[in-house]
Structure 1
């Protein structure tokens, strides 16, 4: 038997981390953990198991999946962290607020070489793309085989299948098959692979457990519908000579939306915080994760005379004064920073302007407060989700592709997850779990 302990992920749209145990051996899938000084739950839990921790897998660089790296560091973890080169390159961007510069990161050589760790502050990363292409099974320990694929969430983001002591576990990380810029490899049960003439997908056997991104619950909208709605709102605003402010995370959907907006509105000035442009250049450096035309599209945007970089308060003021109608991208998806809030103050006074949020807004965030303010006066506040996770049709198709394994739905608040689990059960899917952090699941 094998045991899964949920450190974070189900029942919340935030930290994601899953601890697998067989006897006194452990594997960690992502390490997005609460690391506030006053909270020592993860430290207390991980400290005793550190000698038995066999491997760590990091699906991508976003803080809610990687913030616990410093806990591994704290305990002097000397094993491998399996991920991709693109993910490691992104960590300084995604963990900037956590003083990532304090990390001493070392890259070990061959996977079969002995680890040489001289300091408890060093973490060792192993790169899956150096071992095998997407969809191929490889052995990284005598008792552990893995298969990985591109997850379509970020450059370098992956899904993972493990075969550990004969138990097969699939983990999506954050998965989206609908990106207009990133490629995603479709995980398929081996019985559903009919031709090698097609790009090689993941060859997944019968699973003991699937941990599946279900962040959007029963939402059935496709990406095209979301973008059509977003495009209508933006077009209406621009026709009235207004400005649209789009708060986005520093690395992720913001780069996709900048590119989409540039192509949709060919005469409109686009004002972008330099941090977002720096991250866009990182996208372009990871061609193997992009759609075939991705690099060319990014280069055309970066070379455009309509693209204007905002680097400080004076450049922001000058550009906004020079362009009374524009698209503005600021690098804070929930508008918690003073910079993002200053952007809001600039556009708020005019009713023809709009602020459009495109992701989840945490309770208590500035963005959530704006959305909930029924007495708000001034510019319009709207919300149109850009898909970077899975909703009902995506989860349904994934479970069918994997031949309906026992499934844990993750990455969404409890009501959203419960609703999706009920819907899937009504459609005939069995053993679909909606659980909470701290709970355990025994399987196999």
Structure 2
């Protein structure tokens, strides 16, 4: 079994992994890299796409689905598989991050999408593809691909200690491709959530919290210490996410539903509210926050950023200028979470995606079989011996 590292290795963004075994060839995710341009914006796919049998999408964030229209524009004609939630959220992500001409000619092709449920096991030629809930977003999954001799588990984005979402255990494998977004960050999610709650409480008379529409928004609602507002365009999606009770921890749906029902709706024409305001997306690159960040900055309205800040993004520039705070809301594994994932997977050889090289080297001191030298554009032969 051969793994092609097409994006997200030694870098954050354009996450994409290809698995090849015999005549079978599948692609796991096809993201874009915010802040990049030209070829570096897309997965490092060279040559013909004709031999790729299927594309599996883990969830609808831009660094995992944003290159779909680009793939289609290059003639990709294979199968496309994702969950119903990813299909529903995908068009908004592509609208924000796909090349406009690619998107015009090749929107998300609903008639070609094959749906599966998290937890299903799928067949693709001689490959068996197992899925499980990621704990990152409703409908988000990890993948474990088995060819009868080897198994590679690709985490995509996972959150083992989420206060909101359920994550299924990744199975034992010969190669584990970890979500290393936070490197060896030792601070648990509960402490970060409390720090965010305290910051919001100190700015209860008005502040802006840019956030992705799916995933982190629910984590922030769970951390809210009092009344808050949401951009009105978010409500339907948030309601749908909260109603997906199988993806949420027991009792969380009721708590979040009650909080959302009490939240005020805010529209672009309204004055900035005298309470915390959630608006998508998290980087100020698209959606309402692309308009709200400059408006908040001009008005001196406090801003708290809680996720990844790609270099040169509006959120990054505001933070570097000292005009926005930042406290990470963990929506990826911290140190103990990744060590536990690796332990339960049988302590196999591992690669880390979505992480800068220096942070990956720090993580290696805790996961000795982590191979830190691999970069986007390289390939890796899956070793034998760990598969259970």
CA distance in 2 between partners of 1:402 and 1:5 (Å): 21
State whether structure 2 residue 8 is matched by structure 1 residue 45.
no
Q: Which has the larger radius of gyration?
A: 1
Unaligned runs of 5+ residues in structure 1 are: 108-123, 188-203, 349-353
Between 93-102 and 79-88, the greater mean CA deviation after superposition: 93-102
CA distance in 2 between partners of 1:177 and 1:44 (Å): 29
CA distance in 2 between partners of 1:437 and 1:14 (Å): 11
The partner residue of 2:268 within 312, 325, 330 is 312
CA distance in 1 between partners of 2:208 and 2:110 (Å): 40
Give the match for residue 229 of structure 1. 195
Give the match for residue 380 of structure 2. 441
The partner residue of 2:141 within 137, 143, 158 is 158
Give the match for residue 257 of structure 1. 220
1:334·1:365 contact (CA, 8 Å) conserved in 2? yes
Measured at CA, do residues 34 and 392 of structure 1 come closer, stay the same or move farther in structure 2, by a change above 3 Å?
closer
TM-score (norm 1): 0.77
Give the match for residue 182 of structure 2. 216
Give the match for residue 126 of structure 1. 114
CA distance in 1 between partners of 2:308 and 2:59 (Å): 18
Q: Please show how residues 252-331 of structure 1 align to structure 2 within 5 Å.
A: 252-261=215-224, 264-265=225-226, 268=227, 270-304=228-262, 307-313=263-269, 315=270, 317=271, 320=273, 323=274, 326-331=275-280
* Alpha-carbon offset, residue 56 of structure 1: 1.6
CA deviation string 1:384-432 (max 9, x = no partner):
10010012111111111111111001111222112212x225xxx3253
* Alpha-carbon offset, residue 273 of structure 1: 1.2
Unaligned runs of 5+ residues in structure 2 are: 384-388
State whether structure 2 residue 367 is matched by structure 1 residue 368.
no
* Alpha-carbon offset, residue 302 of structure 1: 3.3
* Alpha-carbon offset, residue 37 of structure 1: 8.4
CA distance in 1 between partners of 2:256 and 2:210 (Å): 20
The partner residue of 1:333 within 278, 282, 287 is 282
CA distance in 2 between partners of 1:282 and 1:13 (Å): 29
What is the Cα-based RMSD across aligned positions, in Å?
2.6
Measured at CA, do residues 185 and 69 of structure 1 come closer, stay the same or move farther in structure 2, by a change above 3 Å?
same
* Alpha-carbon offset, residue 334 of structure 1: 2.4
CA distance in 1 between partners of 2:169 and 2:125 (Å): 27
TM-score (norm 2): 0.87
Measured at CA, do residues 303 and 357 of structure 1 come closer, stay the same or move farther in structure 2, by a change above 3 Å?
same
1:246·1:327 contact (CA, 8 Å) conserved in 2? yes
State whether structure 2 residue 371 is matched by structure 1 residue 432.
yes
1:147·1:162 contact (CA, 8 Å) conserved in 2? yes
Between 56-65 and 272-281, the greater mean CA deviation after superposition: 272-281
